[in-house]
Amino acid sequence: PQTEPPHLVPAFWDSPLSHGINVFVGLVLCFTMLGLGCTVEVSQLEEHIRRPIGVLLALVCQFVIMPLVAFLLALAFSLDDVAAMAVLLCGCCPGGNLSNIMSLLVHGEMNLSIIMTISSTLLALVLMPLCLWIYSRAWINTPVVNLLPFGAIILTLCSTLIPIGLGVMLRYRHTRVADIVLKASLWSLLVTLVMLFVLTGVMLGPELLSTIPPSVYVVAVLMPLCGYAAGYGLAVLFDLPPNSRRSVSLETGCQNVQLCTAILKLAFPPQLMGGMYMFPLLYALFQAAEAGIFILAYKLYRKEVLRKSDPMMDGGVSDITYQRFRDEDLEPSYGAVTVSDPNTIVLEPCPPDP
């Protein structure tokens, strides 16, 4: 009975189901990146070049904090080389667009959330292979590290630039179509995770899941939690407003699991990885569950303690797109300028002249 899983796994990789999943994962990754490109307003890019706080935070969160968290957890739980590579790969991935949905639900700074997701995806072309190379040195003489397919990883990352570019063009020329594509891509995120769990977990049964050590499940629980906490701490260190802190926190813990799954499925030898290609799916499950608890706690705090209603429930704006950056958006505590009629400008919180 103990030899069944090793025989079962290679048989699965050679099956039409496995090849079907490969194609499905590739198509979903392209569609997700197309949706990510549709969030970008070309007119906003100049402002983020002048104020590169989002790019800087993306760099620190996704390519300093998360790879380090993944590396330390892999060492702390003494993961074998294959499991460690799956965890490291997930930690070195750029931010996922799940964080944009989550940020919207906690009334986060959407401009910051989107620019961090886009920046980390572009920075990943160089920094993801670099982080993998640096941290894989701990397992230097193992087969999975000797076979580390940097060429295939870089090729997969480069292939994401085409749908992102198409998404940017779509937003620039056809705004309504871009809105539809964006919403469809966000829904596809949920559908993909459910379908992949069903295809692998149910059709293969417990045999494949039993090949994943319990310590890997623990790492999948702790890793997004550490990311959320570290991201919030970094935002406090940067002295960002509360809404920006929530966005940075979610952006740090949410990884692009579609990209991670695609790389594990398409770039690594399947017989070597075994059931470990399931790790990004486990990570996705726990990052969504933990973010859900965070969102629920925030909404209860907002309703019970702050006594504020939810603007989205009251028919407020719920589109995940850029909004025009204004100075008062960044420092809301300084007060805002309101125009009541063309001849009257009122500065708040200062009382108006009689």
SS3 347: strand
pLDDT value at 11 more than 50: yes
pLDDT for 12 = 58
Question: What per-residue confidence (pLDDT) applies to 345?
Answer: 42
Q: Tokens for 98, please give them.
A: 């799940």
Does residue 83 have a pLDDT over 80? yes
- Residue 310, pLDDT score: 61
| Residue-by-residue DSSP string for 104-132 | HHTT--HHHHHHHHHHHHHHHHHHHHHHH
- Mean per-residue pLDDT, 270-290: 82
**Dist CA 297 CA 295 (whole Å):** 5
Identify the three-state secondary structure at position 102: helix
pLDDT score for 266: 75
Question: Does 37 score more than 80 pLDDT?
Answer: yes
Q: Which of 3-17, 88-102, 330-344 has the lowest mean pLDDT?
A: 330-344
The segment with the largest mean pLDDT, out of 10-19, 147-156, 200-209, 335-344, is 147-156
pLDDT computed for residue 344 by the predictor: 43
Q: 184: buried, middle or exposed (CB in 10 Å: 19+, 13-18, 0-12)?
A: middle
Per the prediction, the chain carries an average pLDDT of 78
Q: What are the residue boundaries of the structural domains of the chain, listed by start?
A: 15-308
347/213: higher pLDDT = 213
* The pLDDT of residue 248 is above 60: yes
Would you state the pLDDT for residue 234?
94
Give the model's confidence band at 290: pLDDT under 50 very low, under 70 low, under 90 confident, else very high.
very high
What are the beta bridge partners of residue 347?
Answer: 337
> Which pLDDT band holds residue 112 (cuts at 50, 70, 90)?
confident
Give me the mean pLDDT over the 204-214 stretch.
72
Q: Is the pLDDT of residue 6 over 50?
A: no
Confidence of residue 14 (pLDDT cuts 50, 70, 90): low
Q: Which whole number is the average pLDDT over 98-112?
A: 83
Confidence of residue 188 (pLDDT cuts 50, 70, 90): confident
SS3 for 176-239 is HHHHHHHHHHHHHHHHHHHHHHHHHHHHHCHHHHCCCCHHHHHHHHHHHHHHHHHHHHHHHHCC
Inform me whether the pLDDT recorded for 273 exceeds 90: no
| All residues at 6 or more sequence positions from 36 whose CB lies less than 8 Å from its CB, including other chains | 97, 117, 118, 121, 164, 167, 185
Mean local confidence (pLDDT), 118-127: 88
> Which range has the worst mean pLDDT, 101-105, 243-247, 248-252?
101-105
Question: What is the pTM assigned to this prediction?
Answer: 0.75
Q: Is the pLDDT of residue 346 over 60?
A: no
Element (H, E) at 341: strand 337-341
Lowest mean pLDDT segment, chosen from 2-16, 126-140, 267-281, 297-311: 2-16
CATH topology of domain 15-308: Na+/H+ antiporter like fold (1.20.1530)
Cβ neighbors of 343 (< 8 A, separation 6 or more) are none
* pLDDT in the model for residue 184: 85
Distance CA 52, CA 160 (A): 23
CA distance 337 to 335: 7
**38-to-31, 169, 227, 313 alpha-carbon distances in Å:** 11, 8, 26, 25
**Has residue 10 got a pLDDT over 70?**
no
Closest alpha carbon to 272 in 128, 149, 92:
149
Identify the residue whose tokens are 């025009």.
324
Distance CA 76, CA 304 (A): 39
- What pLDDT does 326 receive? 42
Question: Which one has a higher pLDDT value, 314 or 82?
Answer: 82
Give the mean model confidence (pLDDT) for residues 251-258: 89
Most confident of 44-58, 215-229, 249-263: 215-229
Higher pLDDT, residue 187 or 301: 301
pLDDT-derived band at 122 (thresholds 50, 70, 90) equals confident
